[in-house]
Structure 1
Amino acid sequence: MSIRLGYQIPNFSYGTPVAELFPTVIAQAREAEDAGFDAVFVMDHFYQLPGIGTPDQPMLECYSALSALAVATSRVQLSALVTGNTYRNPTLLAKAVTTLDVVSGGRAVLGIGAGWYELEHQQLGYEFGTFTDRFARLEESLSIIEPMLRGQRPTVEGRWYRTENAMNEPRYRDDLPIMLGGSGEKKTFGLAARYAQHLNVICDPADLPRKLEALAARCAEVDRDPATLETSFLTTVVVDEDGGKAREVQRDYFVRNGIDPTSDDPRVRLLLSRQIVGSPDEVAANVKERILDKGIDGIIINMPLTGHEPGKVALAAKALAPLVK
């Protein structure tokens, strides 16, 4: 497994009728594959997220969408970024991602995290619990899913889940990779050191050196070489051959969503820190300086404002692929 350049599709609001929605998703995935991306991701949510849109905007169930993308593509790895552990029993999740691997011919990645979007849980009837609860559930879930992916038959009597000689057939392979996503230097990074092949780090890019130090410490605690745990960073990109036009697209987004980019609100500052906007050369220089030069192995981008426009995904790949290949 190697994900040095990934493309995430975080939104399905393209101004099209529903009948044209998924063809637009397929077009993005194929463009990403043709342009040299290693992986294509979708979010595992049922409502659209704050900062991208309103909760009632279109959102597809991720494993159904990924299985459809498996037959529309031939090379790219396919994953959720990341699966919300609270939405599925771990045995069902193991079965879903293993089925995706069979359907795709060995291209599935299990991206997983603790879950965080309270509105979905509240309105759809999923137990949310406390922060501590969600991480305890994630740890217990991984203790079931990981052996099931490897062909073992775990029996677990846990606080949250129970299995008895849980089988998982068929499997395309026994080394389906696990990716964790999050920012927690103790809990998330500790679970990544124990279970994962890849960690997608979520933070302000300025915090990356500290995050990587914490990850090295968690690896040392379980006697793992941190070089065996690949890392990536997710960022939003708006790119245009004319950098001024890209910045205009960003400004229009701020106006539509009532965001003041000069605000001292920490949420606004974090949003801005994870957006990279400009010409291909500007985007490449920014990604290199702020992310890759900090020691992160790979970059995953999303393009919620323009990714559905033909040619934009390929333009981003042209700028970024030389940095990571």
Structure 2
Amino acid sequence: MTIRLGFQIPNFSYGTGVAELFPTVIAQAREAEAAGFDSVFLMDHFYQLPMLGTPDQPMLEAYTALGALATATEKVQLGTLVTGNTYRNPTLLTKAITTLDVVSGGRAILGIGTGWFELEHEQLGFEFGTFTDRFNKLEEALQIILPMIAGERVTVDGTYYRTKDAFANPRLRDHIPLMIGGSGEKKTFGLAARHFDHLNIIAGFPELPGKLAALAQRCEEVDRDPATLETSVLVSVVAGE
């Protein structure tokens, strides 16, 4: 078994001025790279999350910041943990992730989920809907994103999206690692088994054995070896002096 470590930067409230904010982010990413972490992630949110602070605390736009981090690092993979599909048009998201892959020299990871932070949607004008709406929207978005990443021209006349001969160019790779985050043992795990390379399981350590068993069942249902689906869990660490 190979254990790899990723480093997420979820908080930009450093007690510095705005001019010093991104240099601090760069320093964290470089320290993570030097320490042996193999990936660096940002959240794809527009407001700070309630468990981390107040909505008006600093929050960088993820893909702009990741593009800048690509030029400031050399080895770590770069992505979001994870993008909310509800506020990212799939063709524009594909263009963003393929561009990040080019800029980073093939280090991009596409993390994506249904979206869940309702306040962002209400205040910024994005449709939230029910969980079923958001899940179905994500499934349809993947029918655009995945073939576009692979270099295909995509025409879709769907419930949520319409494209005509959509393509992304330039592309560095025909496949960019795809990650989903969540805890739903039926829908989310089933979607991961069908389409994804990596599942970030949102659960406490006592729940993990049951979650992994459920994931193995979803993989069996689509005739997939669970060993081909990488799994991870998000852990919060508070460092002291």
TM normalised by structure 2 equals 0.97
Q: Distance in 1 between matches of 2:145 and 2:177?
A: 11
2:4 aligned with 1:4: yes
Deviates most, 157-166 or 123-132: 157-166
The match for 1:13 is 13
Q: Which has the higher helix share?
A: 1
The match for 1:281 is none
Matching residue's letter, 1:199? L
Structure 1's 105 and 9: CA in aligned 2 closer, same or farther, altered over 3 A? Answer: same
Displacement of 1:49 in angstroms is: 0.3
The match for 1:33 is 33
Q: Once the two structures are superposed, what CA deviation does each residue of 1:289-321 show, in whole Å capped at 9, x if it has no partner?
A: xxxxxxxxxxxxxxxxxxxxxxxxxxxxxxxxx
Q: Distance in 1 between matches of 2:117 and 2:208?
A: 24
TM normalised by structure 1 equals 0.72
Q: Which SS does the other structure have where 1:239 is aligned?
A: coil
Displacement of 1:206 in angstroms is: 1.0
Q: Distance in 2 between matches of 1:188 and 1:38?
A: 25
Q: Which SS does the other structure have where 2:56 is aligned?
A: coil
The match for 1:214 is 214
Matching residue's letter, 1:149? I
Greater relative contact order (Cα 8 A, min sep 6): structure 1 or 2?
A: 1
List runs of 5+ in structure 2 lacking aligned partners. none
List runs of 5+ in structure 1 lacking aligned partners. 246-325
Q: Distance in 1 between matches of 2:153 and 2:208?
A: 38
Displacement of 1:173 in angstroms is: 0.6
2:163 aligned with 1:163: yes
Please tell me whether Structure 1 or Structure 2 has the larger radius of gyration of its CA atoms: 1
The match for 2:177 is 177
Between Structure 1 and Structure 2, how many residues are aligned? 240
Matching residue's letter, 2:100? L
Q: Percent identity?
A: 73
Q: Distance in 1 between matches of 2:27 and 2:62?
A: 17
RMSD: 1.1
Q: Which SS does the other structure have where 2:112 is aligned?
A: strand
Asked if structure 2 preserves the Cα contact closer than 8 Å seen for 1:71 and 1:104, the reply is yes
Q: Which SS does the other structure have where 1:133 is aligned?
A: helix
Matching residue's letter, 1:14? Y
Q: Once the two structures are superposed, what CA deviation does each residue of 1:81-131 show, in whole Å capped at 9, x if it has no partner?
A: 000001111011011000000000000000000000000000000000011
Q: Distance in 1 between matches of 2:196 and 2:4?
A: 16
Matches within 5 A, 1:134-283: 134-240=134-240
Structure 1's 72 and 3: CA in aligned 2 closer, same or farther, altered over 3 A? Answer: farther
Structure 1 stretches of at least 4 aligned residues deviating more than 4 Å after TM superposition: none
The match for 1:126 is 126
Q: Which SS does the other structure have where 2:136 is aligned?
A: helix
Asked if structure 2 preserves the Cα contact closer than 8 Å seen for 1:5 and 1:37, the reply is yes
